[in-house]
Amino acid sequence: MTAFEKLTKRNAQAFFEAYLDRKDAVLAEFIKKIETQGGSSQAELDFSPQSLVPLWTWLWPRLRLADEHPENQGQLPMWYAVEVSNNPHGNTPLPVETALWIDGLAYYFGDTVVKNIPDAKWAICTDNKAAYYNKPVIDGSVFIYPLNNMIVVTMQAVNKHRLHSDKALLEVFKILQNYYEKYKSRSST
């Protein structure tokens, strides 16, 4: 797959639409799999910021790294080739199962932000100087920079042995929430 910064506007839009078109199905499968494997119930996975803590606590020990990228990349999420295997800055191989967990978690985290921070929305990063140019992101007037939900959860997974905290994703959410509160207070004065 071509690097995002080389995509045409049309191809970036097509990737974005394909990325969002699969979101609901990925989330449904992700939540069902968590519940059937002893994690939180569907009712508990309600996209509230607090649901990020038991979700991450349960998922964290299931995430693994690999020595090499999987040979059959057809089983991997659509972002894997660009975000992981072809990325010179983040080339940490992940087994298929971990990549699939991260895929669901990235959508879950993204939807948690969108549902709980006013003005946050799924978008394409259009700033051609930004690291996330042409990528699906969470954006809105509250954000200084667009949020790449995939990078947030991938970095948490890759660095899990150094950075573990049950509240890691909640802490990222709270940073975004604080940006919103500061933005709201500035715009109301």
Helix (H, G, I), strand (E, B) or coil at 59: helix
Measured between alpha carbons, how far is 27 from 109 in angstroms, rounded to an integer? Answer: 10
- This prediction has a pTM of 0.88
The candidate with the shortest Cα–Cα distance to 121, out of 137, 133, 104, is 137
Longest dimension (CA), the chain: 56
The two structure tokens encoding residue 173 = 């959410």
Measured between alpha carbons, how far is 188 from 137 in angstroms, rounded to an integer? Answer: 26
Residue 66 phi/psi, 5-degree rounding, is -125, 160
pLDDT-derived band at 14, boundaries 50, 70, 90 = very high
Q: Structural domain tally of the chain?
A: 1
Q: What per-residue confidence (pLDDT) applies to 39?
A: 94
Helix (H, G, I), strand (E, B) or coil at 124: strand
Q: What is the pLDDT of residues 94-151, one digit of tens each?
A: 888 988 998 999 999 999 999 999 889 999 988 888 878 888 999 987 777 778 877 7
Residues forming a β-bridge with 137: 123
Helix (H, G, I), strand (E, B) or coil at 188: coil
DSSP secondary structure code for residue 99 in this structure: H
Q: What per-residue confidence (pLDDT) applies to 16?
A: 94
| Average pLDDT of span 83-99 | 70
The stretches of 117-189 forming alpha helices (DSSP H) are: 149-158, 160-163, 168-187
Q: What is the pLDDT of residues 23-57, one digit of tens each?
A: 999 999 999 999 999 999 999 999 999 999 999 99
Measured between alpha carbons, how far is 76 from 97 in angstroms, rounded to an integer? Answer: 9
Domain that holds residue 40: 4-187
